[in-house]
Amino acid sequence: MTDLPPPEDGAAARHEASHLKDAPDWFYLMREFEALYRHGSAGGSDLIRSHRNKVRNALSAAFATNPAIVARSPQAKPVAAHLSRTLDLGERGTMQGMARALREVRHRLTWEYGYARMPKALARKYAYCEVLGPQGPVLSDQLILGFVLFAPGTTYPQHSHVGIEESYISVAGAWSENHAAVYAPGSLILNKPGDEHRITTGDLEPCLLAYAWVGAQERLAAPGMKLTASRKVRAAQGI
Contact 19, 137 (CB under 8 A): no
Give tens-digit pLDDT for 46-84.
999 999 999 999 999 999 999 999 989 999 999 999 999
User: Roughly how many angstroms between the first and final C-alpha of the chain, as a whole number?
Assistant: 41
SS3 readout for 91-117: HHCCCHHHHHHHHHHHHHCECECCCCC
Structurally, the chain folds into a number of domains equal to 1
Considering the chain, what is the average pLDDT of its residues? 88
Give tens-digit pLDDT for 100-136.
999 999 999 999 998 878 889 999 999 999 999 999 9
Whether residue 31 has pLDDT greater than 80: yes
Contact 205, 138 (CB under 8 A): no
Owning domain of residue 115? 8-230
Other Cβ atoms closer than 10 A to 105: 17
CATH number at residue 162: 2.60.120.10
Position 238 in a domain: no
Position 96 in a domain: yes
Position 3 in a domain: no
Position 70 in a domain: yes
Q: State the burial class of residue 196 (Cβ atoms within 10 Å of its Cβ: 0-12, 13-18, 19+).
A: exposed
Give tens-digit pLDDT for 184-226.
899 999 999 888 888 999 999 999 999 999 999 999 998 877 7
Whether residue 237 has pLDDT greater than 70: no
Measured CA to CA in angstroms, residue 196 lies from 4, 68, 165 at distances of: 33, 34, 12
Specify the DSSP class assigned to residue 206.
-
- The predicted structure's pLDDT at residue 100: 98
